[in-house]
Amino acid sequence: MTMVWRSLGLVFVSVLLWQAVVVMTNIPAYFLPSPWLVYQALSANTVLLVREAGVTLTEMLLGFVLATVFGMGVAIVLAYWRGVRLSVLPILVFSQAIPTFAIAPLLILWLGYGLNSKIVITMLMLFFPVMTAFLDGLLVPRLELMAMAQVMTPSRWQILRHIQIPSALPKLATGLRVAAAGAPLAAIIGEWVGANRGLGYLLLEANARLQMDFVFAILFVVVSLALLVYYTVDTVLKRVIFWL
């Protein structure tokens, strides 16, 4: 609770400094709007922001879930079959050097302007941190458990299921937290490439019209969604993987 109050206090001080800079410098609103103008933009567009935030949140959550399932599945396959890992892992690493913007238009073309393309883009951007974190944990299990298991001559699948996967869960949790923090950006990028709904679409429209107060209002909603998703994932992980 102390940390929450400290964070709120820091936000309050930052807003005061922001307001002071705007007042003292008399900077134009299209360069830096005051907190009061941002609040007015939030109030005047509440219904619109809530509606479009629902679209972006749906893309974030579905993309995150698919990235988690896909990332865990690929990590288990790579950990179980060493030959597959040696062949596929370099390709996956190489794929991360390809900018999302380079392939996003193709996904929009193939899947359309609806939710499907944004969900896939989000999944692709979140997949790698989940996969690499889980794979790292699978490949470095607890040595004392591995030593004890060798006495019982288990199969490779039994070692993976009963030792490697449970030991890798803390590393997986780290990857999921990273993915949760990046989910808003991934969804926004998908909407920037091509969309007619969502907060990313609103950002483009507001920027084109130089409505900086509305831009800051949208960013406030994006940050709020990011915090909501991150701390929800963090809370669930602490309950499921309680030894973290």
pLDDT tens digits for 83-107? 888 888 888 888 777 777 777 777 7
Domain-wise residue ranges, the chain: 1-30, 33-240
C-alpha 41/C-alpha 218 separation (Å) is 9
pLDDT digits (tens, 9 = 90+) for 213-233: 899 999 999 988 988 899 899
C-alpha 101/C-alpha 190 separation (Å) is 8
- Give, in order, the Cα–Cα distances in Å from 229 to each of 64, 186, 201, 241: 10, 13, 20, 18
C-alpha 34/C-alpha 15 separation (Å) is 9
Superfamily of domain 33-240: MetI-like (1.10.3720.10)
pLDDT digits (tens, 9 = 90+) for 35-73: 888 888 888 888 999 999 999 999 999 999 999 999 999
Q: What is the dihedral of CA 28, 34, 39, 44, to 10 degrees?
A: -10
Confidence of residue 240 (pLDDT cuts 50, 70, 90): confident
Note the pTM of the prediction, 2 decimals: 0.84
